[in-house]
Amino acid sequence: MTRTWWKEAVIYQVYPRSFRDSDGDGIGDLKGIEEKLDYLKELGVDVIWLGPVYKSPNDDYGYDVSDYYQIMDEFGSMEDWTSLCSEIHRRGMKIMMDIILNHTSDEHAWFQASKAPGDNNKYRDYYFWNEGRSGGEPNNWESFFGGSAWKHDEEARAYYLHLFSAKQPDLNWSNQALRQEMYSMMRFWLEKGVDAFRLDAVNLLVKPGEWQDAEPAGPDQCLAPCGHLIANGDGIHDIFQEMNDEVFSRYPMFTVAEMAGVSAEEGLLYTDAARKELDSIIYFEHMDVDNGPGGRWETIPFSLPAFKQIITRWQLTLQGKGWIGLYLNNHDQPRVVSRWGNDTRYRVESAKMFATCIQMLQGSPYIYQGEEIGMTNIWFDNIQDYRDVETLNFYRIECEINGRSHDEVMQDIYHKSRDNARTPMQWDDSANAGFSEATPWINVNPNYREINVANALADPSSVWHYYRELIRLRKRHEVIVYGEYKPLLEEHPDVFAYQRTLGDEILIVVTNFSADEQTVALDAPPTKPALLLSNYPAAEEPLDSQHLRPFEARIYLIR
């Protein structure tokens, strides 16, 4: 397998709006991120993924871009961005930009221009305008964020397609001029010194030629009802090959593609180095194991066997050819300690256990801000305190159209709202958690007095120190990056164990996903294993007879 810097890298995701507010308007900004670079360097991360910072009306907090060449007012200026970029580089770290290619904001100049009907309007074809069917929407497609995926526009006298919010019209990638505009835009950022791209929702770029109705939602729960008709559409690989040729191959950079509704086999096609498309993928399958038949808002109990099967399938399918981003948290997902761990009695233990399990797999680990101190989900009583467009749409549709009660809908929101991960970063126990001097744009989690960076740094047994240790291990042992994966104890309902092998080195990872003690027996190795790291005081036990405490994690090395 080819060795490259980005396979060895640990990526830290910053959600700029909630990271650190330097100018006292209650909204995080670029200067705020710059203030905290030493903190990130100290943790040991290599790449900083900056959520979208382009000009945007913020219907979907930056994922609705109105100008790709300018910085959002609330976040600062292009000078601030340049300064942040050079300060990141000065510390030996790299910068990843979030690139949104599937849609723009409805306030983007292209969309505004596209409204004028007429054959010589070149922008008309940048989007999907359609006259509709018998006086209504062109088909029954629903948007990911609820309601029809089509909206009528008076001025344009037509419907436009929006897979996400109504303020995020989808772009038409069969249009060559549009593609060239996007390639120029990406080169603009690479010329400025960007080292990596995270490509947003990028397996949705190709739309089917015909607008046929979708079947009711299938088992592929991460997609909207029309998703299976769109994801990985015909010709999508040609687009990435062209993009790679026009953009990626010309710079010393790497790409990670965010793709929902992708199987491991498809994931390999996108990331197989020989195909020259994308470098790596952030897939969703393992995050969808607690989605019910009704979709992602319906929560069913976490099943470790299902989770293990998915992880193993992806590890084995891509092994030696493709590459993945390893994650359990991001700005779209509830916090994993609250979701599948235990955020009260075993918060620290479970946070460390999840980190061990995910970071020791083959791939590049992604750490989402606050994860490194074990931040938890949020519970607001009032829907008015939520900010996320997906959550607000869901509440309105469930209460107003489907007639469900406030209390019932709030239960779903507590489990799955994206705002769980978007409350301000908890820096210390001062007002507003040290995030801002003003009232933050979204309320701080009240547990900030206990769970915060200052406390975590001061306590050698904190989640933070454990994360730093995991990152250090990765730098010391190549087997963590490049070792071959093999699942162990595959049938065990509560323990996830696997081994990684590189040359003469074997890494063994054993993680207890339950709040109960577990006894497991692994094959006795030829030489005595060394315990590299554990989230409990070391237990000198042979591999073939181990007593795991609640959420215990152990990493062994055998040479």
- Binding ligand ISL by CB under 6 A: which of 164, 173, 366, 427? 164
Cα gap 100→119, rounded to integer Å: 27
Pairing relationship of beta strands 530-534 and 553-558 according to DSSP bridges: antiparallel
x-marked contacts with ligand ISL along 276-305 as a string, rule CB under 6 A? --------------------x---------
Interface mask toward ligand ISL for 449-478; x: CB under 6 A: ------------------------------
Of 393 and 455, CB closest to ligand ISL: 393
- Checking DSSP bridges between strand 158-161 and strand 94-100, what pairing results, if any? unpaired
Respond yes or no: is residue 412 known to be catalytic.
no
The backbone torsions φ and ψ at residue 509, rounded to the nearest 5 degrees and listed phi first, read: -120, 125
84/256 with CB nearer ligand ISL: 256
Q: Does 170 bind ligand ISL (CB under 6 A)?
A: no
The pair phi, psi for residue 117, each rounded to 5°, is -65, 160
At 155, is the secondary structure helix, strand, or coil?
coil
295/305 with CB nearer ligand ISL? 295
Query: Interface residues for ligand ISL in 320-339 (CB under 6 A)?
Result: 331-332
- Reading the block at residue 204, the tokens are 């949705």
Residues in contact with ligand ISL, shown as a per-residue x/- string from 385 to 414 under the rule CB under 6 A: -----x------------------------
Closest CB to ligand ISL among residues 63, 448: 63
The binding track of 22-61 with respect to ligand ISL, each residue x by CB under 6 A or -, is --------------------------------------x-
Query: What DSSP line would sit under 93-149, residue for residue?
Result: -EEEEEEE-SB--TTSHHHHHHTS-STT-TTGGGB-EE--BTTB-SS--B-TTSSBS
Is residue 201 close enough to count as binding ligand ISL by CB under 6 A? yes
Nearer to ligand ISL, 292 or 320 (CB): 292
Residue 206 Cα distances to 158, 236, 487, angstroms:
21, 6, 36
State which amino acid sits at residue 456: A
Among 144, 254, 394, 556, binds ligand ISL (CB under 6 A): 144
∠ Cα 300 304 308 (to 5°): 125
Which residues in 484-543 contact ligand ISL (CB under 6 A)? Answer: none
Closest of 169, 166, 163, 165 to residue 203, by C-alpha: 163
Among residues 84, 82, 86, 85, the alpha carbon closest in space to that of 70 is found at: 82
Distance CA 224, CA 294 (A): 11
Residue among 36 and 331 whose Cβ is closer to ligand ISL: 331
SS3 for 11? strand
- Total chain residues near ligand ISL (CB under 6 A): 14
Of 61, 14, 39, the C-alpha closest to 441 is 61
Q: Which residue's C-beta sits nearest to ligand ISL? A: 63
DSSP tag of 170? B
Least distance between ligand ISL and beta carbon 164 (Å): 4
The catalytically annotated residue of 98, 195, 258, 398 is 258
In whole angstroms, the minimum distance from the beta carbon of 51 to ligand ISL comes to 8
* From candidates 33, 47, 186, 260, binder to ligand ISL by CB under 6 A: 260
Q: Which of 33, 65, 84, 222 binds ligand ISL (CB under 6 A)?
A: 222
Rounded to whole angstroms, how far apart are CA atoms 510 and 529?
13
Q: Which of 200, 285, 398, 552 binds ligand ISL (CB under 6 A)?
A: 200
Q: Decide whether 200 or 552 has the Cβ nearer to ligand ISL.
A: 200
Q: What is the dihedral of CA 391, 393, 394, 398, to 10 degrees?
A: 140
C-beta closer to ligand ISL: residue 266 or 349: 266
CB of 35 to ligand ISL, least distance (A): 25
Q: Are 18 and 424 spatial neighbours (Cβ–Cβ below 8 Å)? A: yes
Q: How far apart are alpha carbons 343 and 324 in whole angstroms?
A: 28
Least Å distance, CB 509 to ligand ISL, is 28
User: At closest approach, how far in Å is the CB of 60 from ligand ISL?
Assistant: 5
**Does the active-site annotation cover 73?**
no
**Residue 331 CB, nearest distance to ligand ISL (Å)?**
6
Minimum Å gap between C-beta 305 and ligand ISL is 24
The tokens for 78 are 């292009």
Nearer to ligand ISL, 334 or 483 (CB): 334
Rounded to whole angstroms, the Cα distance separating 433 from 426 reads 5
Catalytic entry in 80, 200, 277, 343: 200
Sheet of 150-153: strands edge to edge? 129-130, 158-161, 150-153
Please identify every residue annotated as catalytic: 200, 258
* Contacting positions for ligand ISL (CB under 6 A): 60, 63, 100, 144, 164, 200-201, 222, 258, 260, 296, 331-332, 390
